[in-house]
Amino acid sequence: MRSRHILSAASALTMGVALVLSSAPAAVAAPAKPAPSMLDALQRDLNLSAEQAQLRLVNEARLGKLEGKVRTDLGAAFGGSWLSGDTANSLTVATSDASKIAAIQAGGAKAQLVTRSLGDLTALKDKLDAAAAPQTVPVYYVDVKSNSVVVETRDQAAAEAFVAAAGVDKAAVTYVASTEVPQTYYNLRGGDAYYINNSGRCSIGFSITRGSTPGFVTAGHCGNVGASTQGYNRVAQGTFQGSSFPGNDYAWVAVNANWTPTPTVAGTSATVSGSTAQVVGGSICRSGSTTGWHCGTVQQIGTSVTYSQGTVSGVTRTNVCAEPGDSGGSWISGTQAQGVTSGGSGNCSVGGTTYFQPVNEILSAYGLTLTTTGGGGGGTCNGGTLTGSLSSGQYGNSSQFTANAGTHTVCLDGPNGTDFDLYLQRLSGSTWTTVASGTSSGPDESVTYTGSAGTYRYRVHAYSGSGSFSLTYTRP
């Protein structure tokens, strides 16, 4: 995505004079309103009241930003983090450096001193990934709460042999008895679905574009490169362009001109405005073509799970249920895309465990751009350019402009190593309302929004880090 932004910016600079954004500090923009169906599912699945569900999303957005800053500040001493409480009102940050505890607490989080940093734990799990997990070890992961690598197993002796063969210190491993037999989800009927080679069925993840080519991301086990897809209505849809499974479990499909990408999550009214990853303990919801819309919480990040076809690493473990046919479906937290369903165990009658492949890894692997609030997709940012410079914590607002009804595309190219966010705002009376945003943890963002005629402006927030940036845009 970054190289595309650079090329777009270069093109725009040759077309007109650059304008400089102001950098006056301002209040943080209000988060996008969650979909009613998401609030209903959170209430049902997490046993929350309507007020608690709304408060949980607000707390998660607030503490998620704090977590990103603390993680950066701690560097190699970061030991992981997790949310707790019915309304996610508490963030705990672990560190392997006792001298960092006061700073963590001063920032508004709880601190926990641990023996191993997250880097140490990840290195241990990497050793397990390099070994051959037996079928009796359905899942293993870094557990930041226990500061260990957890190996779940149906055979203790086989699990211990697996750990020993990988050269992992047994003192850093926690064994948990498990009855899980994970399977991939496909080949059953559902609602919002697509079919592979007029046969198996999976679920669409998120709409994307690659350059001017529209498509969607999904699970890799759903199809190989070259496999054709048909939509929920059995109309010709597209072709698998990239697919990886096992090892990873992701793929992307290019669709034909009869299909238009939108930021709407399959089977719900939720829409996507970015792809900031949720932290351990945070709430998360998913949509699939078999079981529809269900919610739960993130249990572990960077998990490895062993299916009959092999081990998939780097997935996120949740306590959300799913069933065959839900594979590839959307995972979302608030308005932030999280990933696509890989597989799991159990079902939505008795409950279960489900794993998803993080969407940011898929976007990076194939050079894709997520379709965000307002729909459209496929647009390019090459109509004009704005440049500016911000210090950490500052906001920059462009001059307001009048636009016709149609599609806006905006791309932000921020400084390397920073976290810059992008907002498109519309004037409603005397109030600026955010209609689209990109708020990932990186320096680059892009948004696509289709709206009515009105007065708009761009806003850039240097959430973490300082430096010069450029915006390239196309206006209707």
DSSP for 140-167 reads: EEEETTTTEEEEEES-HHHHHHHHHHHT
Greatest CA separation for the chain: 69
CA proximity to 300, closest of 468, 95, 145:
145
56 Cβ neighbours under 8 A, 6+ residues apart: 42, 46, 48, 86, 87, 88, 283
Tokens linked to 219? 């699970």
User: One-letter amino acid identity for 114?
Assistant: V
Tokens linked to 463? 């959430």
Residue of 5, 221, 408, 461 marked active site? 221
Q: Using CA atoms, how far apart are residues 35 and 15, in angstroms rounded to an integer?
A: 40
| Active-site residue, 294 included | no
| Active-site residue, 327 included | yes
| Active-site residue, 249 included | yes
Residue 91's φ and ψ, nearest 5 degrees, are -115, 125
User: One-letter amino acid identity for 393?
Assistant: G
Residue 344's φ and ψ, nearest 5 degrees, are 170, -160
Residue of 327, 345, 437, 470 marked active site? 327
The whole-angstrom distance between residue 208's C-alpha and the CA centroid of its chain comes to: 13
Residue of 120, 143, 249, 421 marked active site? 249
DSSP 415: P
Cα separations (Å) of 184 from 109, 274, 328? 37, 27, 10
Q: Using CA atoms, how far apart are residues 182 and 310, in angstroms rounded to an integer?
A: 11
Q: Residue 363 belongs to what H/E stretch?
A: helix 359-366
Q: Using CA atoms, how far apart are residues 460 and 411, in angstroms rounded to an integer?
A: 11
Helix (H) and strand (E) counts for the chain?
Answer: 7, 31
Q: Using CA atoms, how far apart are residues 374 and 70, in angstroms rounded to an integer?
A: 32
Q: Apex CA 261: angle with CA 277 and CA 320, to 5°?
A: 40
Sheet holding 90-95, edge to edge: 78-84, 90-95, 110-113
DSSP 264: B
Q: Residue 125 belongs to what H/E stretch?
A: helix 118-130
User: One-letter amino acid identity for 132?
Assistant: A
Q: Are 434 and 468 in contact (CB under 8 A)?
A: no
Residues annotated catalytic, as ranges: 221, 249, 327
